């Protein structure tokens, strides 16, 4: 009988400990939503960054060809433009997903910023369409390709700046992208381009 009481007591202690620990480790619903929202912010930020990198490469490449009065390799240019388009489409999807994850008060406070991001995405897509049209020509004009690439970059940059202010307002830190690594990679690309010339 004494062993049975000890066994029941030990079982009761284990059950109570398990229940209390389960309550401690459960995340509140809003914490889970914040994590998803933060992830969407960071994903949108990275989509903008990747699109900007591709636009920058395209512009630099086109400017080099314009200075030499040489034609741009059409296949490479089309691949780069397609990649920019993919990144802009992904950024639009992330923005819509982000908007869906915001609370009503967050949406209200970020209403103007979201409108600006949508507007700049639309402008970037418009400029990208013009860039695609120029690149699809049999002999793309390097100066026009550089001009359109710069216009796409400018719109994406404005959208990204607005998004960064929204992230700051909501307490979300941008992802670490390794600026030193980017600078080094850019130097390598420029050095490689110079060797090829």
Report if pTM > 0.75: no
Q: How far apart are CA 46 and CA 66, in angstroms?
A: 30
User: Into how many domains does the chain fold?
Assistant: 1
136-183 confidence digits (pLDDT tens): 998 889 999 999 999 999 999 999 999 999 999 888 887 766 665 566
30 inside domain:
no
167 inside domain:
no
75 inside domain:
yes
103-149 confidence digits (pLDDT tens): 888 889 999 999 999 999 999 999 999 999 999 998 889 999 999 99
9 inside domain:
no
Its domain, for residue 131, covers 35-162
76 inside domain:
yes
88 inside domain:
yes
Q: How far apart are CA 147 and CA 134, in angstroms?
A: 11
Query: Domain of 102: which CATH number?
Result: 1.20.120.330
177 inside domain:
no
Alpha helix ranges (H) inside 102-169: 104-109, 111-135, 142-169
132 inside domain:
yes
């Amino acid at each position: 009988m004494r062993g049975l009481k000890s066994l029941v007591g030990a079982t009761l202690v284990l059950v109570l400990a398990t229940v209390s620990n389960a309550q401690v480790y459960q995340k509140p619903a809003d914490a889970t939503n914040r994590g998803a929202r933060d992830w969407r912010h960071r994903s949108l930020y990275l989509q903008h960054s990747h699109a900007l990198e591709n636009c920058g490469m395209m512009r630099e490449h086109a400017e080099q060809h314009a200075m030499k009065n040489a034609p741009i390799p059409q296949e490479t240019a089309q691949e780069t433009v397609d990649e920019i388009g993919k990144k802009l489409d992904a950024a639009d999807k992330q923005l819509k997903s982000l908007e869906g994850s915001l609370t009503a008060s967050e949406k209200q406070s970020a209403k103007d910023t979201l409108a600006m991001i949508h507007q700049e995405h639309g402008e970037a897509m418009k400029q990208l369409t013009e860039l695609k049209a120029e690149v699809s020509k049999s002999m793309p004009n390097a100066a026009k390709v550089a001009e359109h690439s710069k216009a796409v970059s400018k719109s994406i940059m404005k959208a990204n700046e607005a998004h960064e202010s929204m992230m700051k307002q909501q307490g979300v830190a941008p992802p670490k992208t390794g600026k030193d690594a980017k600078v080094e990679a850019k130097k390598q690309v420029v050095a490689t381009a110079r060797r090829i010339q």
